[in-house]
Copies of this chain bind each other. A is one copy, B any other.
């Protein structure tokens, strides 16, 4: 029933959950993405997971805590990847083997996002969509955990972009980061404004294709000259 609890020193400490708990997590993840937190009932989750209803409140404390667990399981490794990328870039820049420009900073976000999107065993595109739901739906269940960890990541990226674009003011750097990450984030999440229940000319589900189009767009936007404002 429980099987092997490997706890490799370097590798991720995955086997934190029993098999029942894992099946709940996986069914919940899928349903939360499709239906949202409120619209997903515990009965539907346990039914699709093939486990008993009470197992949810046994393994996780409550529905909110389950949601938090679903999110944290995917978010934390991904956040670590991002931090690793930033550390590596700083190291390479210090060693003189890489330029510390906007493209390098953007790629510190793109590479983990791309890797995540392509790896179903870590949630794949499903988690990215969940993340984007979390963003607009503003769940109480995640406020504390997220604002701490995500806040740290954001300040790292802000610092990095400021260093890459020294001619910009702090306010401008914040805006470029805000806008640039917004495009990339929603592009990876597949939030296709143009589609909106209909068909779109853009087949925005292939991660490599997303990168191909979104990176030039973002880099050009971040490097935009000031005051290219509206004329009328």
B-contacting residues of A (Cβ < 8 Å)? 36, 38-39, 103, 107, 110, 132-133, 135-138, 142-143, 146-147, 150-151, 154, 158, 170-172, 174-183, 185-187, 189, 191-194, 196-198, 200-202, 204, 211-232
Q: What residues of chain B lie closer than 8 Å to A36, measured between beta carbons?
A: 36, 38, 137
Interface secondary structure of A, over-half rule: helix
- Assembly of this chain: how many copies? 2
Whether A171 touches B135, Cβ cut-off 8 Å, given contacts A146-B196, A194-B181, A219-B228, is: no
Judge whether B137 and A133 touch: CB under 8 Å.
yes
Q: What residues of chain B lie closer than 8 Å to A182, measured between beta carbons?
A: 182-183, 186-187, 191-193
* CB closest residue in chain B, given A186: B182
Tell which of B172, B183, B214, B228 touches A220, judged by Cβ atoms closer than 8 Å.
B228
Say how far A191's CB is from chain B's closest CB, in angstroms: 6
Judge whether B150 and A198 touch: CB under 8 Å.
yes
* CB closest residue in chain B, given A212: B229
Judge whether A196 and B135 touch: CB under 8 Å.
yes
Judge whether A231 and B103 touch: CB under 8 Å.
yes
Tell which of B103, B183, B191, B192 touches A230, judged by Cβ atoms closer than 8 Å.
B103
Cα A185 to Cα B136 with chains together (Å): 13
Q: What residues of chain B lie closer than 8 Å to A107, measured between beta carbons?
A: 230-232
Cα A24 to Cα B138 with chains together (Å): 24
Judge whether A193 and B135 touch: CB under 8 Å.
yes
Say how far A63's CB is from chain B's closest CB, in angstroms: 13
Say how far A79's CB is from chain B's closest CB, in angstroms: 12
Cα A83 to Cα B181 with chains together (Å): 29
Q: What residues of chain B lie closer than 8 Å to A230, measured between beta carbons?
A: 103, 107, 110, 211, 215
Judge whether A216 and B227 touch: CB under 8 Å.
yes
Judge whether B136 and A191 touch: CB under 8 Å.
yes
Cα A230 to Cα B45 with chains together (Å): 40
Q: What residues of chain B lie closer than 8 Å to A150, measured between beta carbons?
A: 196-198
Cα A142 to Cα B198 with chains together (Å): 11
Judge whether A179 and B183 touch: CB under 8 Å.
yes
* CB closest residue in chain B, given A222: B217
